[in-house]
Amino acid sequence: MWKSSRFWLILAVILFVPGLFFLPFSPIRFGGYFLCGLGVCCAVQGWMGWLGRCHRCAHVLAQVGRVLFTLFCVSFVCIQGLIISGEHADPEADEAQYVLVLGAHILQDRPSDALIERLKTADTFLDEHPDAIAILCGGQGTNEPMPESHMMRQYMVDTLGTDPDRLLIEDKSRNTIQNIANAKALYPLEESRCAVISSDFHLARARKLMEQAGLDPYGVPAPVPNLPLAAASHMREYCSTLGLILTGRYF
Could you tell me how far CA 104 lies from the centroid of its own chain?
9
**Measured between alpha carbons, how far is 38 from 12 in angstroms, rounded to an integer?**
7
Is the per-residue pLDDT at 223 higher than 60? Answer: yes
Q: Which residues are 172's β-sheet partners?
A: none
Rounded Cα–Cα distance for residues 183 and 168 (Å): 9
**What does the pLDDT look like over 1-22, one tens digit per residue?**
445 778 888 888 888 888 887 7
- Whether the model clears a pTM of 0.85, i.e. scores above it, the answer is no
Q: What is the structure's pLDDT at 13?
A: 87
Q: 3-class SS at 52?
A: coil
CA 74 to chain centroid: 20
Are 123 and 99 within 8 A, CB to CB? no
pLDDT for the residue numbered 1? 46
Those residues with Cβ within 8 angstroms of residue 80's Cβ, 6 or more apart along the chain or in another chain: 234, 238
Q: How far does CA 85 lie from the centroid of its chain?
A: 14
Q: Which helix (H) or strand (E) holds 195?
A: strand 194-199
Q: Kindly report, residue by residue over 47-104, the tens digit of the pLDDT.
A: 776 665 666 676 677 677 788 888 888 999 999 999 999 999 999 999 999 999 999 9
Residue 219: what are its φ and ψ, rounded to 5°? -130, 155
